[in-house]
Structures are given as C-alpha cells and as structure tokens.
Structure 1
Amino acid sequence: MSQHSQAKRAARKKREKKAANAAASRRTGTPFVAHAQLVDDAGALVAAGGLHGEEWVMVVAGRALDGIDSPGLLIAMLKHTAARCESEGRATTLRLSPLLEQAAAAEAAEGGHTLEAWLALLETERAEHAEKKRAASAAAVPDPKLH
C-alpha cells in the first residue's frame, strides 16, 4: 500500500470516528460547554467556542461550525474573527478559559512550538489558504474580452 493510500485511509478513519462521536454526543444530548467568548464593547456575544462532547466547536451568529479537532485552531479562528471585527471598527474582547489555553499550549508543545508561535503558524496557513482560494477564484472568472 502506498504512503498516499495509507494517508487517505488514516484520514478517512479519523473522519469516520469523529462523525460517530459527534452523532453519539447529539443523540445523548451532550451539552455545549463554553471555553471562549468573543464579545464587543456593547457586551454582545460575537462568537464563542467550547467543547461539545470531545469535539471543539465554534459558534458564530448562533450557528455552530463543524467540529474542530484542535484547540489551537479554535483560538486562531476566534482571534481572526476578532481581527476582522477590529478592521470594521468594532472593538472586541476575547476571553479564554484556562482549560482551553492549557489544551492549546499542550498541542503546541507536541509540535515543538510555544502557544504564540503555534497560533502565528496557524494564521500564516490560514492566510496562504485564503490567498490560494482567491487566486483560484480569480482564475475561474472568464475574461469578458474573450467572449
């Protein structure tokens, strides 16, 4: 079996396990336990993050995003959301629970990074992915001069 096939198989098994865990937690009514809150100056909740069973979840505008398997990624996503709000002139405050910070720091340490370095790396990856997506989108738009 090739390395590519092994990687695809491992990724599929991970997705299936994650889906089974998520379905089980929905069936058993596992509560959402908040571990992060992003609030604006008026005190309105902009976004939140927490655990739903064994899965990290981010909630924005009352909608839960697909489970996130990384506490560091959850923090990075919340920080990006805060930065977007700030760029629109909306001041925000991000509050993290000690459990979330510890889990993210442990995850970063596994990769040989500090939490700050790990979050910077995740933001760099997000920016690169967004740029590739923009470039692909621009390339997909037909040139009106050709028609």
Structure 2
Amino acid sequence: MPLLAHYKVDPKRNRLLMVACNAEDMLLPRANFTFYEFDAGFRLVQKREFVLPAHLMIHDWAFTDSHYVVLGNRIRLDIPGSMLAMTRTHPMIAALALDPGKRTTPVYLLPRSTEAVASGRDWTVPVEAPSQMWSLHVGNAFE
C-alpha cells in the first residue's frame, strides 16, 4: 500500500507517524487509510486502519494527541485533464477536479487513542467545513 507524501513526528511520544492509502480508491467510492506509528528504534508500536465511505483524494494530514486529522478533497474524474495526463505533458493530478456537486469539505477526525475510540463518536461522519476547498498541505492541528 503506497504511503502518502508526508510523514509526521510526534515529539511528545517520540514517534514517527506515516499513513498509507490504496491508490485505486481514487476511482472507487471509498477511501482506505492505514496509520503507522514507530518508536525511536523504528519498531511498529501502533497500526490503525480506517475505511471512509467517500470518494476522496488526500495529500497531507495532521494529528493531535487523540486523533488523526484528514482533510478530504471530494473529487471527480476530469476527462480533458485525464487526456492531457495520458500524454505525459501534465501530471496525473490533472485528471482530477473538485466535485461541483459537493459544497463542503469533509474533515475526518479518526481516533488515534483509546480515549478517542471510547468517546463513542462516529468517526465515519466528518465535520463539514462550510466551503469547498482543494486542500494539499496542513500546517498544524491541536485538540
């Protein structure tokens, strides 16, 4: 499973955090994510898997003490862009466009800690940001 471009370092727990997703999900109405946490000796100390019922493109993400934060780009296939991408004159992302039928941006708060899991919040339901965004990079997150 391919890793996303950005890894994170949790200085509080002294961990390296990474996330992988299925590339084929960009063509399917779901998104599979696996978050990995490694200690200072590069031993896997936590692995959490999530399947989101949405057609999303994710490039970056964030974390807090209790959650992984994923800003979802609701996408659709862009036919003219995909033809340009096939000629190799444009990057593959040219084959994607924001879905004009969606007016909000989903922010998924996925449980990282056992306390977040025990809260009972349905993590498959995102917090909806009030406008549609094309999110590539995340600067920070906090509880």
Do both proteins adopt the same fold according to a TM-score greater than 0.5, normalized to the shorter chain? no
Larger relative contact order (C-alpha < 8 A, sep ≥ 6)? Answer: 2
Q: Which has the higher strand share?
A: 2
Q: TM-score if structure 2 supplies the norm length?
A: 0.31
Q: TM-score if structure 1 supplies the norm length?
A: 0.31
Q: Which has the higher helix share?
A: 1
